[in-house]
Amino acid sequence: MSLCKTRLQEERKLWRKDHPFGFFAKPIKAEDGSLDLTTWTAGIPGKQNTLWEGATYPITITFPEEYPSKPPKVKFPAEFYHPNVYPSGTICLSILNEEQDWRPAITLKQIVLGIQELLTSPNPDSPAQEPAWRAFLKEKDVYEKKIKEQAKRYISTT
């Protein structure tokens, strides 16, 4: 527990000193005016020259008490359209999975870059929702149309 909070403050410091262009990440403000280090909101810009460009996709990152032994949970909004995102918005990504590639040394920056990469390169072998998975593999035109529609909903403000 004490490791969790020192590490989260460390992540905050690291992020302030160095974060990739177009991204944002910050702990949410609690009612009492403090910042809740265990819950962050972040924005993932779609890569340029891809279906995802021009938009910033919002995610919520929740850190468990056992962080960094255990990975944070990362969610898009519910019903987010992507083959590896569950209907609830939960992201299926190996670096966020304790049994797969999560390591305590993985930083917030690596997580958000990993998610940005996942947007444009879905993994067809670990489907998390049927519609996007099916379209991605079998109906490319439907998939592209849906992704572009979604991009309009999350259009970047800057």
Partner 1 sequence: MGRDTYLKKVLGEDRYQKVQGSTVLMVGAGGIGCELLKNLMLSGYGTIHIVDLDTITLSNLNRQFLFRKGDIDQSKSITIKKAVESFNFHGTKLISHHGNIMDTDQFPIDWWDQFSYIFNALDNLEARRYVNKMALFLKKPVMESGTTGFDGYVQPIFPYKTECFDCQPKATPQTFPVCTIRSTPSKPIHCITWAKEFLFQQLFDESVEGDAEDLSNATDNDKELENLLKESNELVELRKLVVATGEVISQNTFFSEMVRKIFQIDIERLLLIDTLWTNRLKPIPISDAQIEEVADLIRSGGIEQRLESLIDTQVWSPLENLLVLYKSATNLQTRMKNNKFIAFDKDDEDTLDFVVTAANLRSLIFQIDTLSKFDVKQIAGNIIPAIATTNAIISGFSNLESLNFLAQNSRTDSSMVFISIRPNKYVTSATLEAPRKQCASCSVARGILKSEEGTLDQVTLEQFIDKVKSKYSYSSDISIILGKSKLIYDFDFDDNLSKSLSEIGFKTGELVLIQDEDDEVENLELYIEVGLKSNDIELPELELRQKILIEKENGHENGVGKDAEEESGDVIESDMAFETIVIEDEVEEEVPAPKKRRIN
| Residues assigned a catalytic role | 92
Site string for partner 1, 82-121 (x = CB under 8 A): ----xxxxx-x----xxxx--xxx----------------
Structure tokens belonging to residue 90: 């939960």
Give the shortest CB-13-to-partner 1 separation in angstroms: 7
Q: Which CB, 5 or 47, lies closer to partner 1?
A: 5
| The binder of partner 1 chosen from 18, 21, 33, 155 (CB under 8 A) | 33
Say if residues 26 and 59 touch (Cβ distance below 8 Å): no
Any contact of residue 133 with partner 1 (CB under 8 A)?
yes
User: What residues have CB less than 8 Å from 156, skipping those under 6 apart?
Assistant: 22, 45, 54, 55, 56
Rg of the Cα atoms in the chain: 16
CA atoms of 29 and 37, how far apart (whole Å):
9
Any contact of residue 8 with partner 1 (CB under 8 A)?
yes
Any contact of residue 38 with partner 1 (CB under 8 A)?
yes
Q: Which CB, 48 or 91, lies closer to partner 1?
A: 91
Give the shortest CB-38-to-partner 1 separation in angstroms: 5
Any contact of residue 41 with partner 1 (CB under 8 A)?
no
**If we measure between CA atoms, which residue out of 24, 7, 6 comes closest to residue 15?**
24
User: What residues have CB less than 8 Å from 53, skipping those under 6 apart?
Assistant: 46, 47, 151
Any contact of residue 69 with partner 1 (CB under 8 A)?
yes
**The dihedral formed by the CA atoms of 142, 139, 132 and 121, expressed in degrees to the nearest 10:** -100
Give the number of C-alpha atoms closer than 13 A to the C-alpha of residue 97, restricted to the C-beta side. 9
Rule CB under 8 A: which residues touch partner 1? 1-9, 12-13, 16, 27, 30, 32-38, 65-66, 68-70, 78-79, 86-90, 92, 97-100, 103-105, 124-128, 130, 133-134, 137
